[in-house]
Copies of this chain bind each other. A is one copy, B any other.
Amino acid sequence: MHRPEHLKNAGLKSTLPRLKVLDLFENGKERHLSAEDVYKQLLGSGEDVGLATVYRVLTQFERAGLLVRHHFEGGKSVFELNKGEHHDHILCLQCGHVEEFHDKAIEARQEKVAGELGFAIRDHSLQLYADCTRKKCPHKP
């Protein structure tokens, strides 16, 4: 466990709210959390954090490369730990579960298409909205 160093390396003081937020992402059961999710879970654990602090910390962690921000449908930002390797997401329309995937063929085609149109890709965003085909829909029923 070297969370404090992560913060230090990012030029951020090691404060209680920051450690708590990091802990949520590293040890919580959901990998993908909105600011409100984080806020409510911290309040539920008896932590006394402000919502403004949660927003600030999430943005700082994103800038520091500790978290990645996603813009799924629904208007609110969703964050997850930055594990280094890029991936895209499937969102289950029934249970809200978020599954990750990475497909080299898709990425290669993206590069090809962009190149033909005269663009160099800097970033991309791909989400699949889908229904579970098995009934082992693994989360909220």
**Whole-angstrom distance between the Cβ of A52 and the nearest chain B Cβ:** 19
Of the candidates B103, B126, B133, the one whose C-beta lies within 8 Å of that of A126 is B126
Total interface residues on A, CB under 8 Å, equals 35
Query: Is B99's CB under 8 angstroms from A119's CB?
Result: yes
Q: Smallest Cβ distance from A91 to chain B, in angstroms?
A: 9
Contact of A90 with B73 at beta-carbon distance under 8 Å, contacts A110-B106, A124-B129, A125-B127 already known: no
Determine the chain B residues whose CB is within 8 A of the CB of A126 once the complex forms. Answer: 110, 124-127
Mask, A106-141, CB within 8 Å of B = 1, is: 100110011101111111111111111110100000
> Is the CB of A42 closer than 8 A to any CB of chain B?
no
Determine how many copies of this chain the complex contains.
2
B122 and A125 contacting across the interface, CB-CB below 8 Å: no
State the A residues within 8 Å of B (CB): 71, 73, 75, 90, 92-93, 99, 101, 103, 105-106, 109-110, 113-115, 117-134, 136
Contacts A/B (CB < 8 Å), 20 sampled? A71-B71, A71-B73, A75-B75, A90-B117, A105-B105, A114-B128, A115-B133, A118-B136, A119-B128, A119-B132, A121-B130, A122-B130, A123-B128, A124-B126, A124-B127, A125-B125, A125-B126, A125-B127, A125-B129, A126-B127
